[in-house]
């Protein structure tokens, strides 16, 4: 049995592994970068070791991708096994070899299998030999011009350019027609090299609409391979999953059986051990094609655990220590339906722009009493989301007797979730889960193509509910401010020298300013208006630090309120919202010269597309920046001539840094 486990990862997966180890009595050791020194997973582990290459060295290459540093950390803490989690070194055969060469147990498949499946090109060759169905594809690394065009001729359009190494949607580009081929290949190769250190890419036939269905397999050292059913992960943005569920509603019994058999065959053909996932693309006619084998635990593994009643991390540890997998007959069939949503620190209304900063609070209804599973990077008191790592901050999972109930529970849970301090995709997730297409099981890979993410991502509260929530927020702020008044403590709340003049609190929700005016007489609310519109029959029943109970137009609503220095979180019947509290007087700020394009967040400059003297028009690419493992294309918003370029490839910039200047003041 493993006695002490080093977790070569961070964030929510590190905390999730620690949770199982604590239940099993296995000690844990964590590794951390300087940026993560105060993170929850570091505090929760029994041991922890800093692995930044130098003070302030926080990029993955300078921390979590340092094989020697991670192995040294395992030795220094006396660990006898290493769990790679997912991402970073999880599918790196050199890391797996270094762990085993150090006399430690690697919780995963053998280095040989990782190497074979880590190259999508090699994995396709092996699956073809095993008789697993494949899409047409060809390698295009380094090809240009006529050679490139000829190479993709047999694949056909539309096609998908993909990185041979890694995953998570990085290094992928859709090409609809030949004119976009060269730029897609260049961009995919650059992103693959940056994300995985391997710029090998290939072209594959692109099938759309399609479904993404994957099978959870498990193998042991005696050669037995079993499956734990399938998961559907078709709702994706930028080729990265955001909603996953088990079982899939897209399969009939015959298709499900064939898919499971193909996945087990794939595992057997390569001598798979440990947890793995065989991913397939399901076409409109029900035909399926092999995509890849992920030689690790998947982000979406909780939905499988929910319907099969298994702890996959526990089984990973048992198999790594030489134990057997259960017989297929012992695993049985899935019970009910489970869904998972990934909360990302990003703004879907602004082309999924990543969001960094301090999460001041993170509250998920139903989590504390066990009705909802939450795997998060931080606890209720929040934490820091930095520019250096993946933007996923939490996974929320619900289980129900059927798909409809699971989806409703997940949507309601997310609607009431409070994430205070950063932008997230919460609203997009809620509206997707409640969308008629998704409810009717028409949520294929083109869902976010047919449905505008800007519309899905707008604030949940609207109309009367937004007005009521804003009013509750403003009244809570007023009450809180009065609570800190030590000079006129005997005066009733809302006292004014000019009694007929209303008080005002200005709030911001999603960048939209909301002004709330109110007036009290003898401690009684007599006037309440939002953006100049008086709310009819407004009556305040209760107001304290945690609750605003009021009625508007004879409809009574009870809001939970949490007030912080810069914001107030409001949770009510229709959902929750976090309002930023705007200062009464604008503080002096930094003036940006007209025509300047600035960085909206911290990041690293990947490429500069313009030079001084270039003419630009709206939509022209200026700079490519990488933040939170995503490439951001920064484009011109006006016409003009470039007068200054302030950055070069490789530069690290802070939010607000000037990147490019033009002679047009509208830029």
Task: Decide: 170 and 629 in contact? Cβ < 8 Å.
Answer: yes
Task: Decide: 599 and 625 in contact? Cβ < 8 Å.
Answer: yes
Helix, strand, or coil here: 54?
Answer: coil
pLDDT reported for residue 280? 96
Which domains does the chain carry? Answer: 4-107 (3.40.50.20), 136-205 (3.30.1490.20), 207-335 (3.30.470.20), 336-458 (3.30.470.20), 465-581 (3.30.700.30), 596-662 (2.40.50.100)
| The length of the chain, given as a count of residues | 667
pLDDT reported for residue 592? 63
Q: What is the DSSP string of 160-223?
A: EEEESS--TTTT-EEE-SGGGHHHHHHHHHHHHHHHHS---EEEEE--SS-EEEEEEEEE-TTS
CA angle 198, 199, 202 (to 5 degrees): 120
pTM: 0.85
* Intervals of the chain under pLDDT 70: 166-168, 368, 482-500, 585-592, 664-667
Cα separation values, 119 from 111, 113, 127, 149, 388, Å:
13, 10, 12, 23, 25
pLDDT reported for residue 487? 45
Handedness of CA 69, 72, 77, 81 (dihedral sign): positive
3-state helix, strand, coil in the chain (%, to 5): 30, 30, 40
Cα separation values, 361 from 358, 419, 545, Å:
9, 6, 16
124 phi/psi in degrees, rounded to 5: -65, -40
Residue 519: both structure tokens together: 């007036």
Helix 120-130 / helix 253-269 crossing angle, nearest 10 deg: 110
Cα separation values, 250 from 254, 485, 636, Å:
12, 60, 42
48 phi/psi in degrees, rounded to 5: -150, 145
Report the distance separating Cα 320 and Cα 454, nearest Å. 45
Report the distance separating Cα 632 and Cα 625, nearest Å. 5
pLDDT reported for residue 495? 46
622 phi/psi in degrees, rounded to 5: -105, -55
Burial of 148 (0-12, 13-18, 19+ CB in 10 A): middle
Report the distance separating Cα 93 and Cα 131, nearest Å. 25
Task: Decide: 303 and 334 in contact? Cβ < 8 Å.
Answer: no
Report the distance separating Cα 99 and Cα 81, nearest Å. 8
Report the distance separating Cα 187 and Cα 488, nearest Å. 63
Report the distance separating Cα 651 and Cα 347, nearest Å. 24
pLDDT reported for residue 488? 44
């Amino acid at each position: 049995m493993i006695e002490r486990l080093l977790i070569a990862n961070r964030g929510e997966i590190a905390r999730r592994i620690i949770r199982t180890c604590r239940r099993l009595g296995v000690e844990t050791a964590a590794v951390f970068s300087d940026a993560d020194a105060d993170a929850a997973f570091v505090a929760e582990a029994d041991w922890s070791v800093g692995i930044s290459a130098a003070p302030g060295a926080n990029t993955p290459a300078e921390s979590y991708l340092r094989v020697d540093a991670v192995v040294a950390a395992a030795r220094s803490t006396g660990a006898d096994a290493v769990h790679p989690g997912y991402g970073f070194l999880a599918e790196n055969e050199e890391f797996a070899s270094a762990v085993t060469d150090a006399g430690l147990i690697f919780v995963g498949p053998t280095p040989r299998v990782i190497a074979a499946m880590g190259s999508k090109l090699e994995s396709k060759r092996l699956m073809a030999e095993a008789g697993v169905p494949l899409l047409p594809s060809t390698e295009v690394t380094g090809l240009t011009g006529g050679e490139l065009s000829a190479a993709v001729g047999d694949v056909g359009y539309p096609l998908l350019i993909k990185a041979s190494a890694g995953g998570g949607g990085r290094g992928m580009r859709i090409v609809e027609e030949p004119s976009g081929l060269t730029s897609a290949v260049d961009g995919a190769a650059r992103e693959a090299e940056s994300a995985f250190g391997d710029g090998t890419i290939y072209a594959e036939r692109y099938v759309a609409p399609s479904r993404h269905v994957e099978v959870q397999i498990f193998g042991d050292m005696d050669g037995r391979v079993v499956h734990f059913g399938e998961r559907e992960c078709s709702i994706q943005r930028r080729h990265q999953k955001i909603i996953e569920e088990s079982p899939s509603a897209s399969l009939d019994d015959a298709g499900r059986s064939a898919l499971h058999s193909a996945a087990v065959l794939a595992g057997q053909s390569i001598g798979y051990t440990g947890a793995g996932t065989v991913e397939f693309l399901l076409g409109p006619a029900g035909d399926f094609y092999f995509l890849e084998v992920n030689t690790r635990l998947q982000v979406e593994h909780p939905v499988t655990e929910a319907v099969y009643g298994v702890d996959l991390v526990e089984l990973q540890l048992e198999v790594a220590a030489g134990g057997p997998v259960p017989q297929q007959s012992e695993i049985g069939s899935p019970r009910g339906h489970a869904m998972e949503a990934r909360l990302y620190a990003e703004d879907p209304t602004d082309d999924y722009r990543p969001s960094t900063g301090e999460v001041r609070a993170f509250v998920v209804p139903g989590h504390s009493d066990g009705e909802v599973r939450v795997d998060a990077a931080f606890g209720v008191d929040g934490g820091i989301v930095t520019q250096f790592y993946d933007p996923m901050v939490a996974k929320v999972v619900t289980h129900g007797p059927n798909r409809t109930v699971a989806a409703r529970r997940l949507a309601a849970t997310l609607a009431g979730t409070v994430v205070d301090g950063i932008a997230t995709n919460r609203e997009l997730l809620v509206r997707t889960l409640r969308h008629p297409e998704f409810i009717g099981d028409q949520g294929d890979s083109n869902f976010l193509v047919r449905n505008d993410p800007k519309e899905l991502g707008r604030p949940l509260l609207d109309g009367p509910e937004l007005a009521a929530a804003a009013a509750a927020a403003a009244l809570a702020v007023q009450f809180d401010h009065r609570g800190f008044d030590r000079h006129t403590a005997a005066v009733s709340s809302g006292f004014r020298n000019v009694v007929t003049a209303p008080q005002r609190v200005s709030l911001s929700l999603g960048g939209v300013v909301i002004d709330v005016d109110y007036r009290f007489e003898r401690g009684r609310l007599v006037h309440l208006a939002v953006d100049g519109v008086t709310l009819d029959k407004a009556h305040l029943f209760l107001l304290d630090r945690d609750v605003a109970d009021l009625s508007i137009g004879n409809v009574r609503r009870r809001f939970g309120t949490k007030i912080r220095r810069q914001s107030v979180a409001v949770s009510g019947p229709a959902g929750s919202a976090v309002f930023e509290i705007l200062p009464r007087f604008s503080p002096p700020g930094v003036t940006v010269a007209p025509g300047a394009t600035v960085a909206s967040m911290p990041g690293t400059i990947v490429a500069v597309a313009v030079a001084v003297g270039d003419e630009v028009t709206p939509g022209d690419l200026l700079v490519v920046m990488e933040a939170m493992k995503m490439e951001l294309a920064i484009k011109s918003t006006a016409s003009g001539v470039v007068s200054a370029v302030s950055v070069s490839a490789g530069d690290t910039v802070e939010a607000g840094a000037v990147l490019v200047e033009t002679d047009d003041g509208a830029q």
